[in-house]
Amino acid sequence: MSSQHITPRQFQDFSDHRDPVAAAPRLAGLRKRLKALGVDGFIIPRADEHQNEYVPACEERLAWLTGFAGSAGTAIVLSDKAAIFVDGRYTLQVVDDVDISLFAPQKLAEISPEAWLSAHLTEGARFGYDPWLHTSGQVKRLEAAVKKAKAQLVALTPNPLDALWKDRPAAPAGMMVPQPARLAGLSVPQKLKIIRAGLPDATSLIISDPHNLCWAFNLRGADVAHTPLALAYAHIPPTGRPTLFCEAAKVSPALTRALHGLVDIAPPSALPALLQQAGEQEAALRFDSATAAEALVSAFQGAGGKADVGQDPVTLLKATKTQAELAGMRRAHRRDGVAMVHFLCWFDKAVRSGSLTEIDAARALEASRRKTGRLRDISFPTISAAGPHAAIPHYRVSEASNLTITPGLFLIDSGAQYQDGTTDITRTIAVGRPTPAMRDCFTRVLQGHIAIASAVFPAGTSGAQIDALARLQLWRKGLDFDHGTGHGVGAYLSVHEGPQRISKMGHVALEAGMILSNEPGYYRAGEFGIRIENLVVVKKVSIKNAERPMLGFETLSFAPIDLRAISPALLARDEIDWLNNYHAMVRKKLLPLVDKNAKTWLLAATAPLLD
């Protein structure tokens, strides 16, 4: 563990931040302030200046205003009504978190914030947004929606909410440290070369995505929970030294040494000046359409520049891992597998007491990972979900919600950040004897997991084309799940990374070296939930007499899948073979590394399932 990192006793926080009583006065305060500013409405996305999924505490405006604690959502406040928009993962949670008499919950699958705005804004109204919290593409869509209602869109800086937020946390000042080239697999000069090759001639790049910044400069930060991000910007000119825009105090001596002579460091306040100057010179400047704030793009355009808003080439480069990153991910997953086995073995015994709670389980799993001596953080708040809580795909346990784990199914979705890799794994555990319905559904989810794990497909195939494989056995019974089958994962970076995904929306071709989750599920609201998740890496597959270059997956995660939750009669021969081979591999990788108690447990948990 680097000495620059201050390690809390527990990464996960179980306190209940929600304060529904606070929402009414805060909403009233915001409306008053908007009125004073002469605007009739305001949009509050869950976003920071970099469009991060995990944002620093000082950027949790949506949670402060509405109480909604999910990782994605948007509120719109008008003078006489307000709404909150969430996706399928959060339709149950939003009702719990938010005072729905103040914010009418809306499903994103049914209505977009833009469509709602067009329908509810009154003619001639002035509608505000914070240009640091929206990309220029998002602003264009807002503009069209507002225009449709014959209203006017107004940029508001500073954000009008900030003045009301009396105890707003300070901006993060996490230390930035080098990520060794032996783990990254490519040096900074090598990375600059391939980044520049992905840009049009004579075009500079503004890096606004902190993940891309960390990757490009082989560094990691500590500005947000669970992801080693440095919230900063960079400018990469076509030739010569790039500039990193961040407070000098955040740059560790080791990073200063690592970047010496390669990269200039400048304060964040120098970025607007650079954009201004580049705009005046009409320089060719690429902004990342996915993360560059409208405020950046308009600073450049306001000075006369014509922005090239497109893809940051780092996004795709980062997605296909280097051999060193893959080796690190394999080590990290083996280490994490040991922690999982110790936890699962402990759980089976501890749950028999009848008093084990969701928080107990989450604490024990974090402790087990801590025992590796290498844990830098958990990669997201552990979803420790008993009974009906497991039917909420992104359930977050708090002291207030904490359930005792009773017979049925228990779902635990968790991950770790090690310096050599990021993990993300879900197991659904039989507590006592699950019902036949639970076992039937568990087996169908497992069949979906196996179908993805063993899929073989031609190069050029997208995640959208194979997503259905994870659903076929559920579909046969008229069942489904409302999330994608898999998301991309970074290497000691974010546990959610694009552009690769296995989902009907995943139209990017899968490429060798991309890491994804394989996590089909099934959720019966109010009763139980199931998810079986391993990480996989896309690999080349060699087949005799193949006419096309073919790809498939190597499974990275190692931990037993609960045999007690399976209905073996549903499984086909090749599915049983996959499961037995997987368990043989789990045993081979982990048996030498687990403690004595766990050895007996692991042997039983990975015993072959007979046909």
What is the rounded distance in angstroms from the CA atom of residue 312 to the CA atom of residue 234?
12
Nearer to its own copies, 382 or 462 (CB): 462
Nearest distance in Å: CB 545, its own copies = 7
212's enclosing H/E stretch is helix 210-216
Planar angle of CA 425, 431, 435, nearest 5 degrees: 105
Nearer to its own copies, 352 or 507 (CB): 507
CB-CB contact of 241 with 167 (8 Å): no
Helix (H, G, I), strand (E, B) or coil at 232: coil
Nearer to its own copies, 56 or 434 (CB): 434
Among 550, 570, 576, 593, binds its own copies (CB under 8 A): 550
What is the rounded distance in angstroms from the CA atom of residue 101 to the CA atom of residue 348?
43
82, 133, 376, 532 from 32: Cα distances, Å = 14, 22, 44, 48
Among 1, 95, 546, 585, binds its own copies (CB under 8 A): 546
CB-CB contact of 425 with 535 (8 Å): yes
Nearest distance in Å: CB 105, its own copies = 21
Tell me the number of residues near its own copies by CB under 8 A.
28
Among 548, 588, 595, 604, binds its own copies (CB under 8 A): 548
Nearest distance in Å: CB 389, its own copies = 19
Among 5, 33, 241, 504, binds its own copies (CB under 8 A): 504
Could you tell me whether strands 284-288 and 203-207 are parallel, antiparallel, or unpaired per DSSP bridges?
parallel
Stretch that binds its own copies, among 73-81, 116-124, 172-180, 543-551 (CB under 8 A): 543-551
User: CB under 8 Å to 393, separation ≥6 — which residues?
Assistant: 89, 481, 482, 483, 521, 523, 529, 531
Nearer to its own copies, 458 or 568 (CB): 458
Nearer to its own copies, 180 or 200 (CB): 200
Nearest distance in Å: CB 312, its own copies = 23
Residue 133 in tokens: 């919290």
- Describe the crossing of helices 323-350 and 573-590 by its angle, rounded to 10 degrees: 90
* Rg of the chain, C-alpha, whole Å: 25
Residues 240-299 contacting its own copies, CB under 8 A: none
Residue 194 in tokens: 């391939």
Nearer to its own copies, 400 or 525 (CB): 525
Among 543, 584, 604, 607, binds its own copies (CB under 8 A): 543
Stretch that binds its own copies, among 117-125, 155-163, 424-432, 542-550 (CB under 8 A): 542-550
Residues 557-596 contacting its own copies, CB under 8 A: 572
Nearest distance in Å: CB 486, its own copies = 15
Nearest distance in Å: CB 436, its own copies = 12
Strand order from edge to edge, sheet including 82-86: 104-107, 82-86, 74-78, 41-45, 126-129, 152-155
Neighbours of 283 (CB within 10 A): 18
Residues 430-489 contacting its own copies, CB under 8 A: 455-458, 461-462, 464-469, 472, 475-480
Nearest distance in Å: CB 472, its own copies = 8
Nearer to its own copies, 309 or 479 (CB): 479
Nearest distance in Å: CB 108, its own copies = 15
Nearest distance in Å: CB 443, its own copies = 16
41, 320, 422 from 130: Cα distances, Å = 12, 34, 33
Nearest distance in Å: CB 104, its own copies = 24
Q: What is the DSSP letter of 324?
A: H
Neighbours of 315 (CB within 10 A): 22
Nearer to its own copies, 140 or 477 (CB): 477
Nearer to its own copies, 225 or 466 (CB): 466
Neighbours of 577 (CB within 10 A): 16
Nearer to its own copies, 58 or 464 (CB): 464
Residues that bind its own copies (CB under 8 A): 455-458, 461-462, 464-469, 472, 475-480, 504, 543-548, 550, 572
